[in-house]
């Protein structure tokens, strides 16, 4: 009788069977889902044959929400219940959202923990719930098209997304019933779509100009891992601004006053956008603009006119490009490939400017709207196990160092920036005071040496440490970052095994450009930080010496020291105390070494005393026998 085959738990499919996986580009304005079919990665259309799904959800009381084009039609008549641009709110606190000055037409209210909720007729909804509704629509589309349930998905996020924003994205996926195989940086996905991960090592620029935002990322492929060297951008610059310039030009040409235009500005912007898009393939077109009088104005609009209007805006994108190169410490000649992403990179003028800036022709073969979703689909296919010949698995890296606060407000970096993830690193710490039975752990993110200059991620405590002298306990702190960049921290006292842990899910996110800013500051302040670190370390050492000496003097100073010795040591202790919190590092060092010199003899006597006490009532032989 042949042996019965048993499949692995949770893997009902036979090993050779293709598992359905998809890549999702969850965008601010539009979203897409793509999958590898017959070896080709392609985006999936809806029943009407449309690939782009507007990232808009319309809510009604007691009804399922509408998503996409159907929802978009409600934007004007029912703005409070038609939610767009929710990506800007993901993982952000209400205070952060208000600070960014993002103008949103719907009602934002504070919910638990200062997170924003959106008030709609269907109740108060979190940005995660709204994103989940978009993801559900994409999931449905994929399952209808592919004819089965999805095993898992790869969702792309901007490279600058921090832990909170990534976690919020994962939560949305979970709520939508999707298994996230990995979150992938958008520029990395674009690079993968062009197969740059299969090429030799090199530095690549991903230029992403959409409707409302501009992002530039510099990636380095090193030993099969894409490292984000720098990111920069402008969260309020894109094709929409060009449309606005064209609309203003039309109003001028047609003699439309600003007041008169207000009522049909949307129509003017739509005409402007259509004109701009036509001029990507034509040299000139005739504009046909309605006037308030009921008549129409017609006029010629050429590619030269467009260039005049668009150039200042295109030029504006080169400022972050320069900044990104500078932050990465490279020049344009070091770039080996340029990838274009975003609808506005279809403009020939944008391509021209990018080419002359980087000194090389950009990759343009893949539809710039679809390139991110396609890269994500390729990754999803590999992660789902559809490539038995074990294609290289793409990894990501930590964008900023992760560490722990130590005495003196200093940061001990445990996982340095740019460490390939997933990763786990551990380090041992000890207690500062005699008899200390608890330890407060403060997890921070950033490149600077002082806690105040880093971002606080979480605090937790390890309790139940057995009382010991300072420095005797061994507490192992382990940092683990999973494949999506999410951090878990565990602390364990090695002798007793007491442990405590936390998964970092911070409630507030960083601003878009905060990571870049933090990196810049770390470079600028490197020398200051080094000096401050040295000072803080001396201050902490002074504190430790003062504490240890005080408790020793209290315990046996009067027994083991002659009066004169006691007075001298006390004077040195006073001197140390007077400089311990100052900024003169040499004075602290000098005072510590004076205390050290004066207490050497005392320390030796204490040791003798302790041994004698331990041996009382025993013979030497009893101890040597055990050796
Ligand atoms: P995205 O945010 O990536 O979807 O990009 C949308 C922007 O791309 C809008 O400003 C569009 O007007 C612009 N866009 C789309 N197609 C074209 C085209 N053929 N020529 C110029 N701009 C385009």
Q: What is the pLDDT of residues 279-306, one digit of tens each?
A: 999 999 999 998 877 889 999 999 999 9
CATH code (residue 586): 1.20.1270.10
One domain for residues 483 and 548? no
In a domain, 275, yes or no: no
**Count of domains for the chain:** 3
Q: Which atom of ligand 1 is nearest to the CA of 238?
A: 10
Mutation choice for ligand 1 from 344, 348, 351, 364, CB with most ligand atoms inside 8 A: 344
Decide whether any atom of ligand 1 lies within 6 Å of the 30 Cβ.
Answer: yes
CA 457 to CA 505: how far, in whole Å? 8
What would the 3-class secondary structure string for 346-367 be?
A: HCHHHHHHHHHHHCCCCECCCC
- Of the listed ranges 2-16, 487-501, 556-570, the one predicted with least confidence: 2-16
One domain for residues 353 and 431? no
One domain for residues 454 and 507? yes
CA proximity to 65, closest of 52, 76, 78: 78
In a domain, 302, yes or no: no
CA proximity to 182, closest of 591, 441, 607, 482: 482
- Of the listed ranges 24-33, 351-360, 618-627, the one predicted with least confidence: 618-627
Count Cβ atoms within 10 A of the Cβ of residue 103 and give its class: 0-12 exposed, 13-18 middle, 19 or more buried: exposed
One domain for residues 351 and 423? no
Instruction: Report CA 117 to chain centroid distance, whole Å.
Output: 22
What's the CA-to-centroid distance between 278 and ligand 1, angstroms?
11
Question: How many alpha carbons lie under 13 Å from residue 43 in its C-beta half-sphere?
Answer: 26
One domain for residues 479 and 535? no
Q: What are phi and psi of 560, to 5 degrees?
A: -95, -10
Residue nearest ligand 1's atom 18 by CA: 277
One domain for residues 62 and 168? yes
* 173-181 average pLDDT score: 93
Among 524, 548, 579, residue at a domain's last position: 524
One domain for residues 158 and 26? yes
* 209-219 average pLDDT score: 92
For residue 9, the model assigns a pLDDT of 38
- Report which of residues 482 and 435 the model is more confident about: 435
Residue nearest ligand 1's atom 8 by CA: 343
What's the CA-to-centroid distance between 408 and ligand 1, angstroms?
52
CA 144 to CA 69: how far, in whole Å? 18
Q: What are phi and psi of 157, to 5 degrees?
A: -135, 155
What's the CA-to-centroid distance between 374 and ligand 1, angstroms?
18
Residue nearest ligand 1's atom 1 by CA: 210
In a domain, 16, yes or no: no
In a domain, 621, yes or no: no
One domain for residues 351 and 487? no
Mutation choice for ligand 1 from 53, 239, 276, CB with most ligand atoms inside 8 A: 239
Residue nearest ligand 1's atom 15 by CA: 343
Decide whether any atom of ligand 1 lies within 6 Å of the 211 Cβ.
Answer: yes
For residue 531, the model assigns a pLDDT of 82
One domain for residues 549 and 411? no
Among 489, 524, 559, residue at a domain's last position: 524
CA 627 to CA 621: how far, in whole Å? 10
Q: How far is CA 70 from CA 58, 84, 107, 293, 572, in A?
A: 8, 13, 21, 32, 79
Alpha helices in 455-525 (DSSP H): 514-524
Domain that includes residue 113, residue range: 21-239+310-396
CATH code (residue 329): 3.30.420.40
One domain for residues 404 and 351? no
Instruction: Report CA 149 to chain centroid distance, whole Å.
Output: 30
Decide whether any atom of ligand 1 lies within 6 Å of the 29 Cβ.
Answer: yes
CA proximity to 94, closest of 79, 108, 80, 84: 108
**Whether 242 contacts 312, CB under 8 Å:** no
Give whichever of 238-242, 392-396, 450-454 has the largest mean pLDDT: 238-242
Q: How many residues does the chain have?
A: 627
In a domain, 252, yes or no: no
In a domain, 440, yes or no: yes
Confidence of residue 395 (pLDDT cuts 50, 70, 90): low
Alpha helices in 279-345 (DSSP H): 303-328
**Whether 590 contacts 598, CB under 8 Å:** no
CA 461 to CA 593: how far, in whole Å? 34
Each residue of 459-508: pLDDT tens digit?
A: 888 888 888 888 888 889 999 887 766 788 999 998 888 888 887 643 33
For residue 288, the model assigns a pLDDT of 94
One domain for residues 460 and 321? no
CA proximity to 439, closest of 499, 505, 369, 504: 499
**Whether 156 contacts 24, CB under 8 Å:** yes
CA 536 to CA 546: how far, in whole Å? 15
Decide whether any atom of ligand 1 lies within 6 Å of the 210 Cβ.
Answer: yes
For residue 391, the model assigns a pLDDT of 53
In a domain, 150, yes or no: yes
Confidence of residue 313 (pLDDT cuts 50, 70, 90): very high
In a domain, 300, yes or no: no
CATH code (residue 506): 2.60.34.10
Among 372, 396, 420, residue at a domain's last position: 396
One domain for residues 351 and 420? no
- Report which of residues 542 and 362 the model is more confident about: 362
Decide whether any atom of ligand 1 lies within 6 Å of the 190 Cβ.
Answer: no
Q: How far is CA 581 from CA 32, 523, 576, in A?
A: 58, 27, 9
Q: Which atom of ligand 1 is nearest to the CA of 212?
A: 2
What's the CA-to-centroid distance between 396 and ligand 1, angstroms?
29
Angle between helices 239-254 and 303-328 (to 10 degrees): 150
For residue 136, the model assigns a pLDDT of 96
Catalytic residues: 25, 87, 186, 208
Residue pointed to by tokens 């192992």: 476
Confidence of residue 7 (pLDDT cuts 50, 70, 90): very low
CA 204 to CA 202: how far, in whole Å? 6
């Amino acid at each position: 009788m042949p042996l019965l085959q048993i499949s692995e738990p949770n893997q009902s499919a036979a090993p050779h069977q293709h598992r359905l996986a998809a890549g999702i580009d969850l965008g601010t304005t539009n979203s897409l889902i793509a999958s590898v079919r017959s070896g080709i990665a392609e985006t999936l259309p809806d029943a009407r044959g449309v690939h782009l799904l507007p990232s808009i959800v319309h809510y009604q009381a007691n009804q399922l929400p509408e998503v996409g084009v159907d929802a978009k039609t409600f934007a004007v008549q029912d703005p409070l219940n038609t939610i767009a641009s929710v990506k800007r709110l993901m993982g952000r606190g209400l205070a952060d959202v208000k600070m960014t000055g993002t103008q949103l037409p719907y009602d934002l209210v504070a919910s638990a923990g200062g997170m924003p909720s959106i008030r709609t007729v269907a109740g108060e909804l979190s940005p995660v719930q709204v994103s989940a509704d978009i993801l559900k629509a994409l999931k449905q589309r994929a399952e209808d098209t592919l004819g089965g349930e999805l095993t898992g998905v790869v969702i792309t996020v901007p490279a600058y997304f921090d832990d909170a924003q990534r976690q919020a994205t994962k939560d949305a996926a979970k709520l939508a019933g999707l298994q996230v195989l990995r979150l992938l940086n958008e520029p990395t996905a674009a690079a993968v779509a062009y197969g740059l991960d299969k090429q030799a090592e090199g530095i690549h620029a991903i230029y992403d100009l959409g409707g409302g935002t501009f992002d530039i990322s510099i990636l380095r492929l090193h030993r099969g891992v894409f490292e984000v060297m720098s990111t920069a951008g402008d969260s309020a610059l894109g094709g929409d601004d060009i449309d606005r310039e064209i609309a203003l030009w039309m109003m001028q040409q047609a003699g439309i006053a600003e007041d008169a235009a207000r009522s049909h500005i949307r129509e003017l912007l739509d005409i402007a956008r259509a004109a701009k898009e036509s001029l990507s393939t034509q040299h000139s077109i005739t504009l046909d603009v309605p006037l308030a009088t009921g008549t129409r104005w017609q006029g010629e609009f050429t590619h030269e006119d467009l260039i005049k209007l668009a150039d200042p805006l295109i030029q504006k994108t080169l400022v972050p490009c320069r900044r990104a190169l500078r932050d990465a410490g490279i020049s344009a000649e070091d770039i080996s490939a340029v990838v274009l992403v975003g609808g506005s990179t279809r403009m020939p003028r944008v391509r021209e400017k990018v080419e002359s800036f980087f000194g090389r022709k950009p990759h343009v073969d893949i539809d710039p709207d679809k390139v991110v979703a396609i890269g994500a689909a390729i990754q999803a296919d590999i992660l789902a196990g559809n490539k038995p010949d074990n294609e290289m698995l793409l990894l990501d890296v930590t964008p900023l160092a992760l560490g722990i606060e130590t005495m003196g407000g200093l940061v001990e970096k445990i996982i340095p920036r740019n460490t390939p993830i997933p990763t786990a690193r551990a380090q041992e710490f000890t207690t500062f005071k005699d008899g200390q039975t608890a330890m407060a752990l403060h997890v921070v993110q950033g490149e600077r040496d002082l806690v105040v200059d880093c971002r606080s991620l979480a605090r937790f405590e390890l309790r139940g440490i057995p009382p010991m002298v300072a420095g005797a306990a061994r507490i192992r702190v382990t940092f683990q970052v999973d494949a999506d960049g999410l951090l878990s921290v565990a602390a364990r006292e090695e002798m007793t095994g007491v442990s405590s842990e936390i998964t970092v899910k911070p409630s507030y996110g960083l601003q878009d450009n905060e990571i870049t800013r933090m990196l810049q500051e770390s470079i600028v302040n490197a020398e200051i930080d080094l000096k401050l670190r040295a000072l803080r370390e001396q201050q902490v050492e002074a504190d430790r010496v003062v504490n240890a000496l005080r408790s020793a003097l209290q315990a046996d100073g009067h027994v083991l020291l002659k009066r004169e010795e006691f007075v001298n040591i006390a004077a040195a202790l006073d001197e140390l105390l007077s400089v311990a919190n100052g900024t003169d590092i040499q004075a602290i060092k000098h005072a510590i070494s004076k205390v050290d010199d004066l207490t050497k003899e005392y320390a030796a006597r204490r040791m003798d005393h302790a041994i004698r006490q331990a041996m009382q009532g025993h013979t030497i032989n009893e101890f040597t026998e055990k050796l």
